[in-house]
Structure 1
Amino acid sequence: MILAIGIIYLLVILVIGIFSTKHQKDMDTFYVGGRSFGPWLIALAISSTTMSGFGFVGLPGLVYENGYSIFMIGIFATGGIFVSFLILAKPMRKISKKFGSLTIPDLLELRYNSKSVRVITALAILAGAIGYQMAQYKALGNMLQTILGINYGLALSIGVALLTIYVVAGGMISAIWTDFIQMIVMIAGSLIVFIGGMKMVGGMTNMNSQLSNINPDMVNAYHSTGSIGIFAFISYFFIYMIGHQGQPHVVSKFYMIKKVSMLKWACIIAASTYGITVLLWFTGLYARVMVENGSMAAPASPDLVTPMFIQNFFNPVVAGLIFAAVMAAIMSTSEAFLLVASSSIVRDIYQQVIKKGEKLSPGKELAYSRMVTLLVITVTFGLSFNPPDLVGWLGNASWGIFSASLVPVLSIGLLWKRATRQGAIVSSAVGLISSISLYILKVKGVYVPSLDTGAIAMLLSAGTFIFISLLTKPESNAVFDIDYKGLKDAKNKAI
């Protein structure tokens, strides 16, 4: 029954992907869907890609190990959605409309009149996307491994094959529509697990009492000892609330909304729906209590907590629906990352730098985009057979890469006219190099700082950006010719 429901769900997603093929005419439709979507579609796409397989599989595993402290990620990420809409949504949508921007590096080259900024930020997006995609693939393999009762390698191969068909075929139109459907499934699954699991552990008070007996730190916002202390709390604030503005798979969706006036509704819907799906993370708390009282076997890896809990404690029909919700989280973010990764290569490096802006035919652009998407899938698939970390920490590291490389040059740069191209070049390079280097040193055990490596890199990048901008001469820029506040309603409707 679980398998049947899962197959039906995947077939529906595949049909949407294949059906969307006929709407793909050029890079504009492949990457931004022709800027034609309403607030509900954009909002649910933003909340579903913010959650991801990292959220639905990796974070319940971290909650299982660490308790309530991990929920600060969800709280800060919900706040981050509001911050991103407040700072970036309107200017990004208007710049995209006026100048035809399709990607984040498109906008950044325009802002700083610099190909170097385009290249560095495109490489940062590619690096972060590969890391995040590894997290999605590992989550996908863990889920199918449990459902099908097969080894991880075969499960990973099946999941990636299905994902490839509908992402390569459908592009962003497929992604937005499947995100919409998948977020509805994710909300339903989260509520079912939260309510059903709470009954199993005897309510919140009883559960918290048992968790406190296991370790008093399990019920605290941060731990008194160990790695999830006050510095982790501070790190989550920087990476997930401030750093949300640098997540290209999320903020690039601001390009796609039909009208600027719809953004305020999309913001409320996105934050609310994301907050509901965070309820699924209680799976980690439920599983920890049940393992301790002998009702559930201890998982071989924290990444298996969600699939094991669902399979063990829900009837097959409900379990099938919940598994579909988890698969939805994984696939919605996978498609978003594959598209931003391929756009960073085709649009931002090949077409705009190597070919120096040479115009390609729409058919050739689309063909290159699909080929590169397939290449990125192949590379990340190979790396995912032996990933260096748990799903949760892989996803966290990728958020850190994006935050450090993109937040200062994007968010500060669109607000601060004094920012210069020299500051942007050095800042984005410092963010990319430091975030990757510090994470590698941490994984190898060479240097394990109290503050998260991504947060450190973002602070270094922001400080560098401001310092060098103040030392260098600013230039006039077409981006600031747009009147963000004074446009009349009639003009908003036209946009």
Structure 2
Amino acid sequence: MTVDTLSFSIITVVYLAAVIFLGYLGYKKTKGSDDFLVAGRRINPLVLALSYGATFISTSAIVGFGGIAAQLGMGLVWLTVLCIGVGVLIAFVIYGKKTRTLGQKTGAVTYPDLLGKCYNSHFIRKISALIIIVSMPIYTAAILIGGARFIETTLSIPYDTALLAFAAVVAVYVVAGGLIAVMYTDALQGAIMFVGMTILLVLTYVYLGGVNAANTALDSMSSLVPEALLASGMTGWASMPEFLSPIWLTMITTMVLGVGIGVLAQPQLAVRFMTVKDNRSIHRAVMVGGPFVLVMTGVAFTVGPLTNVWFMRESGQLAVDAAGGNVDSIIPLFINSAMPDAFIIVFMLALLAAAMSTLSSLFHTMGTTIGYDLNPRTKSNKPSMKAIQAGTLLMIAASTVVAYVLPENIIARATVIFMGLCAAAFIPAFTHAIYSKKPSLYAAKISIITGACSWFLWTAFVHVKESSVLGLSNAIFGVNSVLPMPWGVVNPIVIALPVSIAALIIAIFIENQKKECAVIKTD
């Protein structure tokens, strides 16, 4: 570590003071449950855009996926295309406006609450809340691990202390200030992330001799692709893998589709559309959200592969070898090896901001889910602030415990797991709810259950990355995957989401047929 620890510590303290101050402003503006849950439905479009982007882009994109790009190449830039096209344009314009309108019309304040009110169903609300509570702590714990490991390394304090302190700082402003505090701090953290990643891209190309020189050098390294990756379909760091090869399937189905499509059903993101007063605010937010996501993901997926040029020139090694085989260490190692001390501090602060922005949103979502959606109604049928705050503290504690048991190199995988499950379970029912005048409750139930179950079955018995860890397939069938390659590298979202969509369509057809038969019998 070349950075001056004292300087970084001082800047970190100033940053944390600013975060706590913004959290205090959120606390002062939080007068009731609507303020705590949906920021009073009056958030500025700029704050919406930065909060959405900072929540969406975490250490997973910067460090986790950036490291994977260093290993597998620039083909991951296709995820940037989907993040902008789907995660911003479609999410804001196609889903965001409808979500805001229905949220205001029904008075919904959480994602499960919105689904439940659209279908007029306690079951839909409860099962949606349960899926969130079961799956989100895994993603939350992974982000918590990344932030704690970062603090441990930069400030030279014990991991346990870093983990608990990190969770505690975020907990203070989430519990006290609710979504207003979360979105205010997200905006600050998003601005820091944007500046840090922009400087990273510029300095990387400067140190590698310019855009043309750097890209040409990367392209010329195709002969250095390791034999194992070559056999799996990799052709180089500046080109796509062979079509339908194991690496192509992993890159496209897991990284690109898993995250690029999964973003549409993220509860912590969808609720942000309910925080603005009109659709014009959503349109304005797109103008900021698009460039933000472009820079955050595009830089990570461009710089990642280019680190191979740097490490090969400096040490005669590929990036993954220089990092000891740990892809999550590639980007931090490159920063520490190539960048000036002043920028190391900026980038470390950007990483801390990325982790805190996502973590605060996840804490808030889990807290409102368990304290509001799964909590029995009070006599006045109004949300209990004490129950929500208690639920938030409970889920923070649960996520911290999960962080102690998760393995290393889990950040990117945990992201894909959570987003894939949400996509399979929620996207069809969510789309049907916001675009149908009379959405079918029967079809929604079938779709959510079928999507979640098919996702789990493929995860537990086919997709090798997870099935080999869970051990169910091996225990029952004696193999890590019950299907031969390449099925073992096809992400569950590619199977479970179409199954969920088909289940919804078939259920709607069956229900309509029953109604027609009932009418005929009546006549």
How high is the TM-score relative to the length of structure 1?
A: 0.88
Do structure 1's residue 205 and structure 2's residue 228 form an aligned pair? no
2:192 to 164, 185, 191: 185
Secondary structure of the 2:404 match is coil
Residues 175 and 332, structure 1, Cα contact 8 Å, conserved in 2: yes
Do structure 1's residue 33 and structure 2's residue 9 form an aligned pair? no
In the other structure, the counterpart of 1:131 is 138
**Unmatched runs of 5 consecutive residues or more in structure 2:** 1-6, 226-234, 469-479, 482-486, 516-523
In the other structure, the counterpart of 1:366 is 385
In the other structure, the counterpart of 1:489 is none
2:467 to 427, 435, 444: 444
Q: Distance in 2 between matches of 1:205 and 1:68?
A: 11
Change (3 A) 1:306 1:32: same
Q: Distance in 2 between matches of 1:62 and 1:276?
A: 18
Runs of 4+ aligned residues of structure 1 deviating over 6 Å after TM superposition are none
How high is the TM-score relative to the length of structure 2?
A: 0.83
Residues 38 and 257, structure 1, Cα contact 8 Å, conserved in 2: yes
Residues 210 and 289, structure 1, Cα contact 8 Å, conserved in 2: no
In the other structure, the counterpart of 2:510 is 471
The number of equivalent residue pairs is: 470
- Larger relative contact order (Cα-Cα within 8 Å, sequence gap ≥ 6): 1
In the other structure, the counterpart of 1:344 is 369
Residues 223 and 230, structure 1, Cα contact 8 Å, conserved in 2: no
Superposed displacement of residue 453, structure 1: 1.3
What is the 5 A alignment of 1:257-272? 257-272=276-291
Secondary structure of the 1:73 match is helix
Residues 447 and 503, structure 2, Cα contact 8 Å, conserved in 1: yes
Q: Distance in 2 between matches of 1:132 and 1:452?
A: 17
Residues 63 and 281, structure 1, Cα contact 8 Å, conserved in 2: yes
Residues 420 and 473, structure 1, Cα contact 8 Å, conserved in 2: no
Secondary structure of the 2:294 match is helix
Residues 164 and 377, structure 1, Cα contact 8 Å, conserved in 2: yes
Q: Distance in 2 between matches of 1:38 and 1:148?
A: 35
Change (3 A) 1:466 1:235: farther
Do structure 1's residue 335 and structure 2's residue 335 form an aligned pair? no
Do structure 1's residue 175 and structure 2's residue 182 form an aligned pair? yes
Q: Which amino acid aligns with 2:144?
A: Y
In the other structure, the counterpart of 1:9 is 15
Q: Which amino acid aligns with 1:145?
A: E
Secondary structure of the 1:217 match is coil
Q: Distance in 1 between matches of 2:246 and 2:145?
A: 24
Change (3 A) 1:402 1:291: same
2:67 to 61, 64, 85: 61
Q: Distance in 2 between matches of 1:418 and 1:23?
A: 37
Residues 219 and 236, structure 2, Cα contact 8 Å, conserved in 1: no
Do structure 1's residue 401 and structure 2's residue 409 form an aligned pair? no
Q: Which amino acid aligns with 2:182?
A: A
Residues 245 and 411, structure 1, Cα contact 8 Å, conserved in 2: no
Q: Which amino acid aligns with 2:36?
A: F
Do structure 1's residue 219 and structure 2's residue 238 form an aligned pair? yes
Secondary structure of the 2:168 match is helix
In the other structure, the counterpart of 1:486 is none
Change (3 A) 1:231 1:5: closer
In the other structure, the counterpart of 1:229 is 248
Do structure 1's residue 109 and structure 2's residue 116 form an aligned pair? yes
Superposed displacement of residue 294, structure 1: 4.1
What whole-Å deviation, never above 9, does each CA across 1:343-388 have from its counterpart, x for those lacking one? 22122121xxx33x643666xx222111111111111111112324
Residues 57 and 304, structure 1, Cα contact 8 Å, conserved in 2: yes
Question: What percentage of residue pairs aligned between the two structures are identical?
Answer: 23
Change (3 A) 1:439 1:151: farther
Q: Distance in 2 between matches of 1:223 and 1:378?
A: 45
Superposed displacement of residue 419, structure 1: 4.2
Q: Which amino acid aligns with 2:338?
A: F
Q: Distance in 2 between matches of 1:424 and 1:287?
A: 46
The higher radius of gyration belongs to: 2
In the other structure, the counterpart of 1:77 is 83
Residues 287 and 309, structure 1, Cα contact 8 Å, conserved in 2: yes
Change (3 A) 1:470 1:374: same
Q: Distance in 2 between matches of 1:470 and 1:24?
A: 46
